[in-house]
Chain A
Amino acid sequence: MSPVAVTGLGVVSPHGDDALAMFAALMRAESAVKAVFPELPKPAAAALAPFDESRWFTKLQLAGVDRVSQLAVAAADLAMRDAGSPTDIAPERLGVFVGCGMGGAAALEAAYRGGARVPPLTIPAFMPNAPASHVAMRQRAEGPVLTYSMACASSAVAIAEAAKAVRAGEVDLAIAGGSEALIVPGVVLAWQAMQTLAGFAPDAAANAVRPFASDRSGFALGEGAAFVVLESDDHARRRGARRYASLVGWGLSCDATHLTKPHAPGQARALRAALRMAGLQPRDVGYCNAHGTATRIGDVVERDALASVWGDDLGRLHVSSTKALHGHLLGAAGALEAVITVLALHQRQLPPNAHCATIDPACQLNLVQGAMTAAPDLGAAISNSFAFGGTNSVLLFQRA
């Protein structure tokens, strides 16, 4: 069976819209997390994506298009351009697979808190499948155009589902990823109420997120969109496309135990399923881009899940959570981190696990720190995405 090739990458991220420049910024451990909304009663921090919508939309085209869809259209377009702007794909053989946790938060915020009449296009702007539909219209994708919503695993699941469709021959090319744009006061207040966001001292927002550290206190929200272009290896070769990496395995599972409390056996099931599909052993995988939300419980559970699968080989697995630097993109997190994982394989470099001065003894992992970022022998890498709702998704990439 022909492997699934990753032939295009596109991001609109807290570190900008150039995927390679974003990766370089992560390698320098530059944090995009900043204090936001000083008017709120409690300090808030988030990683906003710099974005000029006029590069992709006329003012007329922006009618009823929420920021979450704008980011998606831009990132998907960048991914397609990066894949060489393939023009010989029949529209009905082009699919779009998008993860989105919340939909158009800005449109809802304006409707609820705007203080004026509710704008007539609030519903089409808000609906969570709007990003996928806008990408489809822009790219003229007339095949399956699907939206997946499983909180923090949404876009990792979307990529896995796209790979399935490619492998099954349902599409010739898939644009797969996710978008999330919910940095608005109402949503930030809701996340603060959930008690999962990192606390931080004044002027220390950049270092607020400390995955696996003994002094970690949660995550910061991030916004952005990320997409990959997937096609069969044969198809990529025929059209002479650059192959960044191959998506050789994916594992999906559900904890089915608790809505918000993670569960190591459930995560381990997804990890094992991905390895089994790829026909790889744990020791074959050199890097894990962790879910690593820096919550007190989440990081320990993820470590336990990795330990139960990797066993004695756990020390050979280099681990980092880049959420310390780009925040938690929720529905877009899996896609952004998949792009980072693919670039780690392609560049043979491991992005650091930032802001972890003292590792929590309960999170003992071989974290990427200091000068250990070069990975000349890296052959395979995984990206973990574990969601509220219990859905676990693991993507396993191999060097092309």
Chain B
Amino acid sequence: MSSLKELQDLIHEKFGIAPSELDPTASMREKGMDSLALVEFVFAVEDRFGISISDEQSNVDTLAELAAHVDKVRAAQAT
């Protein structure tokens, strides 16, 4: 199951950006999320899902990429 919907809800709750305003395949940076906001978002994602996202993966640029990575980490934890 994709984490995309949960990430969209989290980004809405945290930054007030509605799912319709952010194309999952578009650059989050171009949507006004600078590097600091992204750091805080990744931190919130880790807290929400109880996972750890490696530094390399925290450089993802789109919500879809982040969701794919979160899926992978959660799947690895579930096994």
Contacts and interface: CB of A to CB of B under 8 A. Distances in A.
Interface of A: 58-60, 63-64, 116-117, 119-121, 124
Contacts of B37: 60, 63-64
A60 B32 contact: yes
Nearest to B42: A120
Contact of A60 (B16, B39, B43, B47): B16
A60 B33 contact: yes
Contacts, number: 32
B40 interface: yes
Interface string B1-18: 000000000000011110
Contacts of B33: 60
Contacts of A64: 36-37, 40
User: From DSSP, what is the main secondary structure of chain A's interface residues?
Assistant: loop
A58 B12 CA distance: 12
B15 A121 contact: no
Interface residues of B, number: 13
Most B C-beta atoms less than 10 A away, residue of A63, A117, A119, A124? A63
B40 A120 contact: yes
Contacts of A59: 14-17
Contacts of B17: 59-60
Contact of A120 (B16, B32, B39): B39
A338 to B, nearest CB: 33
B23 to A, nearest CB: 16
B36 A124 contact: yes
Given A117-B47, A119-B43, A120-B43, A60 B15 contact: yes
Nearest to A116: B47
Contacts of B32: 60
Nearest to B37: A63
A58 B17 CA distance: 10
Contacts of B40: 63-64, 119-121
Contacts of B14: 59
A63 B43 contact: no
Contacts of A124: 36
A59 B37 CA distance: 10
